[in-house]
Amino acid sequence: MSTVSASANLKGKDLLTLKDLTSEDIMFLLESAIALKEKHENGEIVKTLEGKTLGMIFEKSSTRTRVSFEAGMLQLGGNALFLSSQDLQIGRGETIGDTAQVLSQFIDAIMIRTFENSKIEELAEYASIPVINGLTDDYHPCQALADLLTIYEHKQTFSGLKVAYVGDGNNVAHSLMIACAKMGIDCSIGCPSGYEPKAFVTEYAKKVASETGAAITITENPVKAVQNADAIYADVWTSMGQEEEAKKRLEVFASYQVNDELVQHAKSDYLFLHCLPAHREEEVTASIIDGPNSVVFQQAGNRMHVQKALLQAILA
């Protein structure tokens, strides 16, 4: 499949990374999500995807991704199929290309949550239906869209904002950087040496930021990262597949905890964001994630609304 074009017409397109979306595309999806969310909260029924089916392939466990996509698809009048890699023939050696071509005969779109980014690229290459990245080791674009929506709901603008991410320069940090760069938001990543975002992602984000007027900063100093920030973002220090590194990571990231002392350097009305699940008293203290500046559950709920907007845009 081709990737998203420069226009707001996303029908039939893939979303593999936020590189596939223009700033206008992102704003279109956010505005659509706001409208769909308002209708949902008012009890209005929207059946724009009646008769459509989304296949959801999971090679990684999930709470928010699975439930938000499945519930969102059902709310729009469509169907969602949970396809564990253990249940598909792909788990017994069928090629990704063959799986993509077979699924294209039965369903209208594929969402996959997997490990290597090469898998989703191969899936999209052979599928004749849209492919959505539900998470890979390198990117988490749907999460970043929910992050943007949450920030926009509270700040009513992206102009002049600074978002600070503190912790591991992982897939969440990658997509957040790109999202901020696309929307003209300054983004500062505070992480230990050796745990920075991948260079090719940082280079891309900085290139986009130079065009939108945003600043992308990578620093080892967590205080510098959150200085005057409008939002502070944390993620777990040990992601799926890194369990053997857990003890070492606890030591390396100890000074990167988001706590009452660190947030004093941000703006007083900062938002606290976290993609969840959270490990309280590791990457963030309970006083912060359960405190008045935390919007993590609104952020989690927004996963469904932005994904409904995306599904409607590519399928309706």
| Catalytically annotated residues | 113, 140, 143, 235, 275, 303
Q: Which residue type occupies 55?
A: G
7-22 in b/e form (b: 16+ CB < 10 A) is: ebebebbbbbbbbbbb
CA distances (Å), 162 to each of 154, 159, 196, 229, in order? Answer: 14, 9, 19, 5
Q: Which residue type occupies 293?
A: N
Q: Which of 259, 270, 184, 265 is nearest to 227 (CA)?
A: 265
> Residues 6 or more apart from 274 whose CB is under 8 A from it?
233, 234, 235, 283, 284, 289, 294, 296, 299
Tokens in use for 221? 């100093």
Q: Which residue type occupies 116?
A: E
d(CA 214, CA 205): 9
Tokens in use for 26? 């992102």
User: Tokens 């949970």 label which residue?
Assistant: 82
Q: Cis (ω within 30 of 0) for the bond into 192? A: no
Are 262 and 166 in contact by the 8 Å Cβ rule? The answer is yes
Q: Which of 44, 57, 34, 45 is nearest to 302 (CA)?
A: 34
d(CA 191, CA 194): 8
d(CA 227, CA 266): 5
Tokens in use for 168? 């591991």
